[in-house]
Structure 1
Amino acid sequence: MSAPHVIRTPDQRLRVFVSSTLQELADERRAARTAIERLHLAPVMFELGARPHPPRELYRAYLDQSDVFVGLYWEKYGWVAPEETVSGLEDEYNLCPDDLPRLLYIKSPASHREPRLTELIGRIREDDRAAYKYFETARELARLLEADLATLLAERFDQSRAALLAAATGPTPAVSPHGGPGGGGADADGLADPVRLPTPLTGLVGREADVAVIRGMLQSGTRFLTLVGPGGIGKSRLAIAAARAAAPGFDDGAVFVDLSAVQEPDRVPNRIAQALDVRDTGDAPMADNLVTALRDRQMLLVLDNFEQILDAAPLLTRLLAQAPGVAVLVTSRALLRVSAEQSYEVGPLGDDSAVSLFVDRAHAVKPDFEVTAENASAVAGVCAAVDGVPLAIELAAARVRVLSPADLLDRLDRRLSVLVGGSRDLPERQQTIRRTIEWSTQLLTDDQRRLLARLGVFEGGFTLEAAEAVGDDGDDVLSDLAALVDSSLVGQQHDGEERARFSMQAIVREYARERLEKEGGLGSARDAHAEYFRALAARAEADLKGTGQREWMQRLGDERDNLRAAERHLLGSRDWDRAAELAYRLYLYWWVTGLLGEVRTWMDEPLASGDALGDHTRAIALYFTRTIMFWKDPDGSVAADLTESADLFHRVGDADGEGLARISLALALMAGERPDTSRAREVMERSLELFRSTHSVWGESMAHVLLGRVALLQQKIHEAQEHFERSLALTRKDGDAVGERIATYHLGWTCLIRGDVEEARKHFVRSVTVSATLGHTEGIAYGLEGLVAVAALTGDPVRAGRLAGAAQALRERSGTHNGPIFTFHQKYVERLLTGASADLVAAAMAEGRDLTPEQAVAEALPTPA
């Protein structure tokens, strides 16, 4: 018997098998892929690169190892292979395992549906294993599919371990306070995926040989490789393609870090940490946390756009020295010039590849464009005129909608010779791309050029609404933006549910800012940008605590770089009040995404400025700079400052702010060697009153958890349990999943103290389950630690050791260090390590450290019936 097919996707995520014919539904297949990837799942789609008619044993193997079956049907039944009686489309449905969820989507109207497909759809309607819906547009399909997959994961999460592992990479979590009861917030991007590289919107043309060489260098042991070349030459796209090719050689895959929005070298560790889901808790240098998170990983880091932060290069040599399994692939316009660096120069495209790229991009604006005997010479001439630089070719190709290749070549010849578009001492190809950008802008109207310049203030993309906010009053921003997209000066990053996002390449944004500053409009554009995001934060504040949590977490995640830029502008302008307001309105977002360390540095500035601060601004600044230090307060200064913060919030009538400050104050009072439980109780009873007065369900539920912890310290077990149960009821009523996780976790420890080990196990399992559905790594660690104690008490030291090792590794890799404040498992581990099974436990802990988060979750949960 031949060996069974074993198909592994590089990322090991939940696989969604998409079945459709290859002759139709191209837009719909792309929409399905986007919807699946937005949920951090892995689409299995033969039309994305496999053979057009894969053999039955191949797609049977993929089906056997997939988790969800999605069928897309319209009019075509599909090709029937020789010696077969049904098409591949029907065969895939027939071979779908019985226990695989089936989601079918049928496009309408269909005036020419083939009879055999009509028969298949009729059979599907009678199959009670399948759910089917009709749709009309690709966008509607994406919306239906994403919603149905999310619902499916939620419904099936508790049913089997496989579904659990799939759901562990689910959507953005609900809200949890960092350092709050149970410790910390969720990781906004979910559990770490082995491959986290962006998916470009267009294909890579003419770089196959470069990809092969770079992949070979990385596979042969090169650990520090810099792709160097001018802006617009295609370094980023090449790095992504090469990293995707090389990723299977790294056990922990490849992670992409966009540094284009980072202007300060000392912020580079934070940006890398953000990509790795390492929290910026502010209690230790981020570089140290990175070393801890990476030291036992086998990973490729892709660091894009390093040229403006060359002084951060020594950080990379430190990481490589202390994390021997890590390699870095850097893109930069200049070499980093540090030890161990090897370089690969990215040059222009060859003649044939340049023409292929021109044709490919021309098709985007003029689908019927083809190279003919009449225009071939002109097309080649255009590519030569821009020196084969990919971005310049794209800018030129975008004009074939209105200019023939001959006209295009004539205009380029006449204009490029007189345009400089930047410093004359720039490298030759850098001057080429600057001149091409300048040439492209000359074909715009005055309004369009003005909008392009003002869009340069954005970081990391923008929406139409944001573009309208920074555009000049009276301009038709929508039409002007459409013209910029048509000209390839602005890219449409992705088309989401209701809001399309747009982006600019780094060199185009750099050019736009230079023009804006030269014209004297940079300050006003930055003011408009900051005001827009301050208003956005005000709109988000209330919904972040309620039913709009997930939507706003995702939206704010898209705007993270813009929020940073707005905050930096306000701080740089010494506009302390608005800077503090922006930070404060989004405090739940900063907690959830692990950015409190960065916010702390922001709020240090007004406190250190020497300026007179308003009461509310000082209350906010004190809160953000002290709350992350609550668990390290040897001299009581943190508690004193948090008391002042609460008093200031009270003085200005901000009851929620006072209640929030009191939560951190109570934590500080309980964190020392001699907890002041009496004062902590008094502080939290007042906090509970405040949250009730403002009808803050989230605040009330957290207050109950804190009061329960006070009761535990005072050995009032029954009272503690009552508080935790009240918190659980509130969080479930309000749909706060992370709050539910915190409450169930504390109930688990209460049950252990009472001697009810089995009830404790149920609560800890629920805590792990909820955390995994949210992608909340720290929450998983807490649940695992509770189950360590359960395993120790039930005589299973090996299981206790594996879970303890897994929890320890999760904490190190997520940068969360305040675990000992909120967990009690360590004493059980210490007993095991000094007992008769010490060697077995130590070996099990080492094995547990090697588990992925998904494997750790599977280890923690009972085998399903």
Structure 2
Amino acid sequence: MKITPGGIRTPDQRLRVFVSSTLRELAPERAAARTAIERLHLAPVMFELGARPHPPRQLYRAYLDQSDVFVGIYGSNYGWVAPDETVSGLEDEYNLAPDLPRLIYITQSAAAREPRLTELLDRIRDDDRASFKYFATPQELRRLLEADLATLLAERFDLSRTEPTTDTVPVTLEPTMPPTPVPLTELIGRETEIHAVEALLSAEAVRLVSLIGPGGIGKSRLAIDLTNRAKNRGEDAAFVDLTPVNDASLVPNVVAEALGVLDTGDRPIAEKLTAALRERRVLIVLDNFEQVLAAAPGLTALLSAAPAVKLLVTSRTILRVSGEHAVEVGPLAVPDATRAGDPARVASVALFVERARAVKPDFDVTPATLEAIAAICVALDGLPLALELAAARSRMLTPAAILARLDRRLTLLAGGARDLPARQQTLRKTIEWSTQLLGPHEKKLLTLLGVFAGSFSLEAVEFVADASSDPDLEPLFALGNLVDNSLVREEDRGGRPYYSMLTTLREYALEQLEVAGELEATRGWHARYFVELARSLEPSLRDGGQREAIALLNNDRDDLRSVARFLLDTRDYATIAEFAWALLVYWWLGGLLGEVRAWMDEVLVLGHELDDRTRARAQYFSQSITLWKDPDDRVVPGLTESAELFGRVGDRSGEGLAHLSLSLAAIAHRPPDAERAEASLDRSIDLLRAAGDGWGEAMALLTRGRLALVQRSVHRAVECFEQSLALARTQGEDMGIAAALQHRGWALLVLGHTADAKASFEESLATSARLGHAEGVAYGLEGLTAIAAAEGRAERAGRLLRASESLRRQTGLGDAASFSFHKHYLAPILAGDGAEELERARTDGSDLSIDEAVDFALQHT
């Protein structure tokens, strides 16, 4: 009997996501997938969700016919092959979904995969219509799937921007759980180290553990595993990669960024980080600390101020600070010919085989190949990175051939690194051996990639490569070969490929650039690419492309910092000022204004002969960022000079923004100088309107509404906020929309229009969450706290208050700024019968995560 799509209905009639996997083997992963799908208000189509009075094959075929997205999750098992069938249900489901968007996830923790599953995965990798990623834990799978589905929906469905909705929040903030890198290899042979570190960290008196060992020994891989183990136990843990950081003073900034603490410029970031962590129990893992050892004393200061924080640090050298407990990470065990036993069970051999099979799925281990592999492991001293580089050659060479070439090449290279310890000499010679096997174009590109501080896009690689001394270099082809040889790693971010290199390989590449005398020139081209990127994205940051531009820049954040440092070191002050100015909105939304102010202060101190435009921009950043929190006698003169210089060079937009900041300074003055603020605003709006700067004009109208509220002209304030909102909607600019809605909400609430105020706060909150703007989310939660209080809902007000306070504490935003009046609306409840209920909701139970808080706040119950 043929089952038609209408014959068997899926359990839900919403947009449907079909989940394919083996059932019993991947039960935790299926549960994580279901959670991710339901959090986006989609319908998971899974066997366990509905009655099945039909044969399994008919059922999943009917379900697939009615589904919109296919999700495949694969572990070790291929699944059962039914009688009269040639493939398992797992493979049949994939075959039956060629026209659906296909999201594929492969677990890194799988044991040896069954051969037919390996064949299926090879086919999937070659299918350019399917996206696939690796994951380590069910929790990581949930995050990956939720993000990918949100991106897929944004790309495939034409959602109107003109009628915003607060029903769903597809993009959320989660500062307490920064992403941990996805390991590309199974952790092998580190049971002793894991036990030692976990035993130390479980001791109450131990606060700082360092993993010590040379480059390539596997410290980072071990740290990643320990981070994931802590997360899987339900603990708060954050992995912080310090690879791109060479300036010890930036360590607090990078740690704060990983933990969601915003550098808004109102206080030193180290102080904000300490305040955010003072009551937080968290394990912070700092990877590659050896290049910022000067920051080590700051770790002990942090531990002293935050008693529930523990640190796990990887470093090539001991930190030499009080309270440090060092665990040495040595090489993997190698086969011992004098002892009986199965060499395949030795850790170094197991790692080699695992990596060889990753590049050659049919890699066969026989007694003959095992002997050669064992000899390779001995020759490479059991160093994990060296073993991976050698195993990558298994695609073209047998183990015996690898051994022969490796032995010969290591001998030839023996004189190249005699000043290094023995193990480092082995690793260095293995890297050189690996690069010797590359073609000249691949060698050239590998050295050029050393200038990237973090991960890098294909577009960035092509730009830098085009400026190289090799006119025949084809970057796409060469990059593919580097990926195939495990010298560069590839990952997918929002549908775009990004690439990265291990720290040891990057160091080698930079060294080769310096030897060739091309380092400074290549850094210059690297900087030029990102300066041009900033110029190209400036319009998008101020209109409907804001979210996409921010996502793109977030992927390049390490390189943006690197470019700023290069421009400062080379005294190219005009370019860094232009670079900072183009990304003004990004620094603001990303909570990075404190760093930018430090750059501009450096420009003002060192750049004694600045051109007018550069000085105008530097003064603007230096003075405008802290005018609310730390006004002093320099702010108004500095902003006045900025406005005059912008006017001198004919930059109406810059002059208008400087006058806007001058109006804010007048409002922040105690008592507020309304007359001066009004005059500055009139000038600002005229200039911005003449410049066609709709983003700036919307901000100025918003400020005019704030001034009207200060003057107790509430109806005028609503009118100004409405004008600002209309202009921001015309621009399609989310930050301006969220800000205008939030301000309008307060004005409407003051007028007693509670329902309209509630709608404004809800849309503002949803927009800020989609944008990823933590401060906007905090303001939205506080607005809805006031609504709950006005409605007499003490328990709801208490929960929302707790959520907003928790968010401000975690992100270092401190107390609500002057434009949040929720405490005024809470006062009657705290003074009446509802005080106990409100305080109980505020203090009992555990904190909501940010996305949970947003979901709760937008519920209409």
Letter of the 2:484 partner, please give it. D
Equivalent residue in structure 1 for 2:720, among 697, 719, 723: 723
Quick one: which of 208, 215, 221 aligns to 1:237?
A: 221
Distance 1:397 1:289, change over 3 A: same
2:628 is paired with a residue whose SS is coil
Q: Cα distance 1:115–1:463, how it changes in 2: closer, same or farther (>3 A)?
A: closer
Instruction: Indicate whether 1:321 and 2:316 are aligned.
Output: no
- Report the Cα distance in structure 1 between the residues aligned to 2:32 and 2:217, rounded to whole angstroms: 40
Secondary structure of the 2:517 match is coil
Partner of 1:20: 20
The corresponding residue for 2:423 is 429
Query: What letter matches 1:437 in structure 2?
Result: I
Aligned partner of 1:104 in structure 2 is: 69
Distance in 2 (CA, whole Å) between partners of 1:84 and 1:647 is 79
**Are 2:431 and 2:505, in contact at CA under 8 Å, matched by a contact in 1?**
yes
Structure 1 residue 615, shift from structure 2 partner: 0.6
Q: Which piece of structure 1 moves more, 420-429 or 445-454?
A: 420-429
Do structure 1's residue 638 and structure 2's residue 622 form an aligned pair?
Answer: no
Shift of 1:794: 3.6
Q: Distance in 1 between matches of 2:843 and 2:607?
A: 51
State the Cα deviation string for residues 634-683 of structure 1 (Å, max 9, x = none).
Answer: 55431221121122112212222222222222211111211122222222
Q: CA deviation at 1:708?
A: 1.0
> 2:202 & 2:71 partners in 1: Cα distance?
45
Can you list the C-alpha shifts for 1:117-171, whole angstroms capped at 9, x where unaligned? 89x99xx99xxxxx9669998554449955444489998999999x75xx3644x
Q: Distance in 2 between matches of 1:291 and 1:226?
A: 21
Per-residue CA distance 1:187-224 (angstroms, 9 max, x = gap): xxx33253631222343334355445534443454432
Range with bigger deviation, 424-433 or 199-208: 199-208
* 1:342 partner SS: strand
> Which residue pairs with 2:456 in the alignment?
462
CA distance in 1, matches of 2:371, 2:358: 21
Return the offset for 1:420.
Answer: 5.1
Secondary structure of 1:430's aligned partner: helix
Distance 2:630 2:447 in 1: 49
Give the alignment partner of residue 619 of structure 1, picking from 616, 620, 623.
Answer: 616
1:32-67 C-alpha deviation (Å, 9 max, x unpaired): xxxxxxxxxxxxxx6xxx616x69xx9689858961
1:785 counterpart letter in structure 2: E
Conserved? CA contact 1:257–1:271, under 8 Å = yes
- Describe how 1:185-196 pairs up with structure 2 within 5 A: 190-192=173-175, 194=177, 196=179
User: How far apart are 1:356 and its partner, in Å?
Assistant: 2.2
Q: Give yes or no for contact 1:804–1:829 (8 Å, CA) kept in 2.
A: no
Mapping for residues 454-853 of structure 1, pairs under 5 Å: 454-471=448-465, 472-473=468-469, 474-478=471-475, 479-494=477-492, 497=495, 499-632=496-629, 634-817=631-814, 819-829=816-826, 841-847=838-844, 850-853=847-850
Contact 1:250 1:299 (8 Å CA) reproduced? no
Partner of 2:77: none
Q: 1:589 to 1:774 in 2, by over 3 A?
A: closer
Q: Which amino acid aligns with 1:51?
A: E
- Distance change >3 Å, CA 19–CA 228, structure 1 → 2: same
> Where do 5+ consecutive residues of structure 2 fail to align?
1-14, 73-83, 104-123, 133-147, 335-345
**Contact kept in structure 1, 2:175 and 2:811, CA below 8 Å:** no
Kindly provide the amino acid, as one letter, of the partner of residue 245 in structure 1: R
Query: Quick one: structure 1 residues 95 and 834, their matched pair in 2 at CA, closer, same or farther if it must change by over 3 Å?
Result: farther
- Tell me whether 279-288 or 844-853 shows the greater mean CA deviation: 844-853
Aligned to 1:43: none
Tell me whether 683-692 or 285-294 shows the greater mean CA deviation.
683-692
CA distance in 1, matches of 2:89, 2:446: 49
Structure 2 residue aligned with 1:415, among 395, 409, 415?
409
Whether the 8 Å CA contact 2:45–2:67 is kept in 1: the answer is no
Aligned to 1:5: none
Could you tell me whether the CA contact under 8 Å between 1:745 and 1:783 is conserved in 2? yes
* Equivalent-residue separation in structure 2 for 1:570 and 1:500 (angstroms): 27
- 1:51 pairs, out of 14, 25, 30, with 25
Residue range with higher mean Cα deviation, 836-845 or 423-432: 836-845
> Is residue 71–residue 105 contact of structure 1 (8 Å, CA) maintained in 2?
no
Which is further off, 264-273 or 534-543? 534-543
Aligned-pair CA distance for 1:258:
0.7
In the TM superposition, what are the counterparts of 1:106-145 in structure 2 within 5 Å?
139-142=128-131, 145=149
Classify the secondary structure of the residue corresponding to 1:822.
coil
Indicate conservation of the 8 Å contact 2:210/2:324, yes or no.
yes
Quick one: which amino acid aligns to residue 564 of structure 1?
Answer: R
Map 1:359-374 → 2, pairs under 5 A: 359-374=353-368
Secondary structure of the residue that 2:451 maps to in structure 1?
coil
Residue 86 of structure 1 corresponds to: 55
| Structure 2 CA distance for aligned equivalents of residues 360 and 436 of structure 1 | 19
Q: Of the two structures, which has the highest relative contact order with CA contacts closer than 8 Å and spacing of 6 or more?
A: 1
1:621 offset after TM fit, Å? 0.5
Residue equivalent to 1:451: 445
Q: Aligned-pair distance for 1:699? A: 2.0
Distance 1:703 1:848, change over 3 A: farther
Alpha carbons 2:16, 2:45 under 8 Å: kept: no
Deviation track 1:407-456 (CA, whole Å, cap 9, x = no partner) reads 22122222223425875343322222111112222223444333322221
Residues 1:379 and 1:664: Cα distance change in structure 2 (over 3 Å): same
Change (3 A) 1:745 1:51: same
Contact kept? 1:191, 1:775, Cα under 8 Å: no
**Per-residue deviation at 1:583?**
1.2
1:438 aligns with 2:432: yes
Partner SS, residue 417 of structure 1: helix
Report the AA paired with residue 860 of structure 1.
Answer: A
Inter-CA distance 382–115: structure 2 relative to 1 (3 Å threshold): closer
Greater mean alpha carbon deviation, residues 597-606 or residues 450-459: 450-459
Q: Is the 8 A contact 1:191 1:776 kept in 2?
A: no
**1:91 Cα deviation from its structure 2 partner:** 6.7
Identity %: 44
Matched, 1:282 2:265: yes
> Cα distance 1:800–1:403, how it changes in 2: closer, same or farther (>3 A)?
closer
* Conserved? CA contact 2:597–2:621, under 8 Å: yes
For residues 809 and 300 of structure 2, what CA distance do their matches in structure 1 show?
Answer: 21
Quick one: distance in 1 between partners of 2:217 and 2:500?
18
CA contact (8 A) 1:103 1:132 kept: yes
Structure 1 spans left out of the alignment, 5+ residues: 1-14, 23-45, 126-130, 171-189
Aligned partners of 1:639 and 1:665 also within 8 Å: yes
Q: In the superposition, relative to structure 1, how do residues 89 and 848 fare at CA in structure 2: closer, same or farther (>3 Å)?
A: farther
Structure 1 range deviating more: 229-238 or 542-551:
542-551
How many aligned positions are there?
Answer: 774
Equivalent residues of 2:389, 2:487 under 8 A apart: yes
Identify the range of structure 1 (831-840 vs 409-418) with the bigger mean alpha-carbon deviation: 831-840
Provide, for residues 528-548 of structure 1, a one-character-per-residue CA deviation record: whole Å limited to 9, x for no partner: 111121111111112222233
**AA aligned opposite 1:301:** I
> Given residue 485 of structure 2, which amino acid in structure 1 is its aligned partner?
S
CA spacing shift, 1:421–1:750, aligned 2, 3 Å = farther
Q: Which residue of 1 aligns with 2:110?
A: none
Aligned counterparts, 1:321-400, within 5 A: 321-351=304-334, 352-400=346-394
Alpha-carbon contact 1:631-1:818 (below 8 Å) kept: no
| Residues 672-725 of structure 1, C-alpha deviations (whole Å, 9 max, x = no match) | 211122222222222222332233332222222111112112222222111111
Partner of 1:228: 212
State how far apart, in whole Å, the 1-side matches of 2:426 and 2:505 are. 13
- Alignment RMSD, CA only? 3.9
The one of 225, 230, 251 aligned to 1:246: 230
Cα displacement (A) at 1:376: 1.9
* Contact 1:357–1:393 (CA under 8 A) maintained in structure 2: yes
| Change in CA separation of 1:89 and 1:369 when aligned onto 2, cut-off 3 Å | farther
Give the TM-score normalised by the residue count of structure 2: 0.81
> Is the CA contact (8 Å cut-off) linking 1:227 and 1:344 kept in structure 2?
yes
TM-score (norm 1): 0.81
Q: 2:281 aligns with which of 279, 291, 298?
A: 298
Which secondary structure does the structure 2 equivalent of 1:282 belong to? coil
* Aligned-partner SS, 1:330: strand
Instruction: Provide the rounded CA distance (Å) in 1 between the counterparts of 2:275 and 2:573.
Output: 35
Residues of 2 paired with 1:209 and 1:95: CA distance? 46
